[in-house]
């Protein structure tokens, strides 16, 4: 079978983690007889440097005509002083919007082997953690009206948080469907004690819940949720939340899994899915062969599962990652004394070796 994948290496550590991920996918293709064809496209800072814009039209066209999109990371200090609409990050938002990817799945799983890397006490993590953060991805404050204006206090700027009933309904349904296939507990995270948009959000989630009587729904304010994630993360099964709150809570949840370098994501909702680690371009370690490629490698496992229905192949990648961790190989972000410290390339090579 042929699969066409648009590959966006992006900036910073993006190309480093993508390189290893593509090698993993190539090996899966070789073992199981699939043809993964890659079209590398420009987005982010490197696109600004080569074409003058963060998201060239050609990139969107190629993504739209592919079977799935794989992305490393975009952004970096070099482009930090550009106006908002010309920044590398615009590329990411533009692709999400263009492909209609409103549902962002960020599974935070603490592998048995990484209990040492989790900063929480053993009695808090118990026998492990498995949380799925479902983040709304094409609405809210990221996409609401924004601008600058003069006020009696001088120059001011604003970003509007806005959600329609329909936007909330579709992400809520998505989250309930996921919860139904897991432990059937959904925590809605909002700020309904203050924000009108959150009050609408919560009322729609409650309405959607009528179709899912088998799923237990509870509600939590975002400030409490941030605290509960480190106080008692085991209480969570699936969390559903807005674009902004999901961005923040998933970075926090990633640390509970040992490192942000471990957390993959799938962006779904349109015809084509996009898969990317939740971390950024990590300018502080870029080009040093230090980045953990596992989040991106696990993202491609999500691609095989969600876009191509290749469950067996997805599970083989996840098992290979666990095998390498079992052998005590670690990149710097998940390393503790006595383990074997390896770089990005070596981690990739070990995972490929473990696939066979």
Stretch that binds ligand IPM, among 23-31, 46-54, 86-94, 292-300 (CB under 6 A): 86-94
Reply yes or no on whether 251 is catalytic: yes
Specify whether the CB–CB gap between 353 and 28 falls below 8 A.
Answer: no
**What does the alpha-carbon distance between residue 191 and residue 224 come to, in Å, rounded to a whole number?**
10
The values of phi and psi at residue 320, to 5°, are: -65, -40
Specify whether the CB–CB gap between 156 and 146 falls below 8 A.
Answer: no
Active site residue: 211, 223, 326, 340, which one? 223
Q: Which is nearer to Mn ion, 11 or 247 (CB)?
A: 247
| Short-list 37, 93, 25, 45, CA closest to 65 | 37
Binds ligand NAD (CB under 6 A): choice among 59, 258, 333, 350: 333
67 near ligand NAD, rule: CB under 6 A: no
Binds Mn ion (CB under 5 A): choice among 190, 247, 276, 313: 247
Which residues sit opposite 329 in a β-bridge? Answer: 340
92 near ligand IPM, rule: CB under 6 A: yes
274 near ligand IPM, rule: CB under 6 A: no
302 near ligand IPM, rule: CB under 6 A: no
Q: Which is nearer to ligand NAD, 202 or 330 (CB)?
A: 330
89 near ligand NAD, rule: CB under 6 A: yes
Reply yes or no on whether 191 is catalytic: yes
16 near ligand IPM, rule: CB under 6 A: no
Q: Which is nearer to ligand NAD, 205 or 321 (CB)?
A: 321
Binds ligand NAD (CB under 6 A): choice among 92, 186, 263, 347: 92
312 annotated as ligand-binding: no
| Short-list 205, 89, 79, 83, CA closest to 143 | 89
159 near ligand IPM, rule: CB under 6 A: no
Which parts of 69-88 interact with ligand NAD (CB under 6 A)? Answer: 73-76
Reply yes or no on whether 335 is catalytic: no
- Residue 146's H or E segment, with its range, is strand 146-151
Alpha carbon distances (Å) from 257 to 78, 223, 335? 30, 20, 13
DSSP 50-61: HHSSSS-HHHHH
Number of residues in contact with ligand NAD under rule CB under 6 A: 21
Binds ligand NAD (CB under 6 A): choice among 217, 222, 291, 325: 291
263 near ligand NAD, rule: CB under 6 A: no
89 near ligand IPM, rule: CB under 6 A: yes
Place of tokens 């010309």: 86
What phi-psi label fits residue 140: left (phi over 0), alpha (psi between -120 and 50 degrees) or beta?
left
12 annotated as ligand-binding: no
Question: Please, is 147 exposed, middle or buried when counting C-beta atoms within 10 Å of its C-beta (0-12, 13-18, 19+)?
Answer: exposed
**What does the alpha-carbon distance between residue 334 and residue 292 come to, in Å, rounded to a whole number?**
8
Number of residues in contact with Mn ion under rule CB under 5 A: 1
Alpha carbon distances (Å) from 223 to 24, 98, 120, 170, 172? 39, 31, 19, 24, 20
| Short-list 47, 92, 38, CA closest to 276 | 92
Q: Which is nearer to ligand NAD, 161 or 333 (CB)?
A: 333
Which parts of 218-257 interact with ligand IPM (CB under 6 A)? Answer: 247
H, E, C per residue of 85-106: HHCCHHHHHHHHHHCCCCEEEE
260 near ligand NAD, rule: CB under 6 A: yes
Residues that bind ligand NAD (CB under 6 A): 13, 73-76, 89, 92, 260-261, 276, 279-285, 291-292, 295, 333
Residues that bind ligand IPM (CB under 6 A): 75, 89, 92-93, 247, 278, 280
User: What are the binding residues for NAD(+)?
Assistant: 76-89, 280-292
User: What are the binding residues for substrate?
Assistant: 96, 106, 135, 223
Catalytic residue numbers, as ranges? 142, 191, 223, 247, 251
């Amino acid at each position: 079978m042929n699969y066409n994948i648009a590959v966006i290496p992006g900036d910073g550590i993006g190309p480093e983690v993508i390189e290893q991920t593509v090698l993993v996918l190539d090996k899966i293709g070789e073992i199981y007889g699939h043809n993964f064809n890659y079209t590398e496209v420009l987005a982010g800072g490197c696109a600004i440097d080569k074409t003058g814009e963060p998201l060239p039209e050609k990139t969107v066209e190629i993504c739209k005509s592919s079977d799935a999109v794989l992305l490393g990371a975009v952004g970096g200090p070099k482009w930090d002083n550009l106006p908002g609409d010309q920044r590398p990050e615009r590329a990411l938002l533009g692709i999400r919007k263009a492909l209609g990817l409103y549902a962002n799945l960020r599974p935070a799983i603490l592998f048995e082997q990484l209990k040492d890397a989790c900063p929480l006490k053993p009695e808090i993590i118990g026998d492990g953690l498995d949380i799925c953060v479902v983040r709304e991805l094409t609405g809210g404050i990221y996409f609401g009206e924004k601008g600058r204006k003069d006020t009696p206090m001088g120059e001011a700027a604003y970003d509007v948080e806005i959600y329609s009933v329909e936007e909330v309904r579709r992400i809520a349904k998505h989250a309930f469907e996921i919860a139904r296939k897991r432990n059937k507990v959904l925590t809605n995270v909002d700020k309904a004690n203050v924000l009108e948009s959150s009050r609408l959000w919560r009322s729609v989630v409650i309405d959607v819940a009528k179709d899912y009587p088998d799923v237990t729904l509870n509600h939590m304010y975002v400030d409490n949720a941030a605290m509960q994630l480190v106080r008692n993360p085991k209480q969570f099964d699936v969390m559903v939340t807005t674009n902004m709150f999901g961005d923040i809570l998933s970075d926090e949840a990633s640390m509970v899994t040992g490192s942000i370098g471990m957390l993959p994501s799938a962006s779904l909702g349109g015809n084509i899915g996009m898969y990317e680690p939740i971390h950024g371009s990590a300018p502080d370690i870029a080009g040093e062969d230090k980045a953990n490629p596992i989040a991106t490698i696990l993202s491609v496992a999500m691609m095989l599962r969600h876009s191509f229905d290749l469950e067996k192949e997805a599970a083989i990648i996840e098992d290979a990652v666990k095998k390498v961790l079992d052998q005590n190989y670690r990149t710097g972000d998940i390393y503790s004394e006595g383990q074997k410290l390896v770089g990005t390339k070596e981690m990739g090579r070990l995972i490929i070796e473990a696939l066979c």
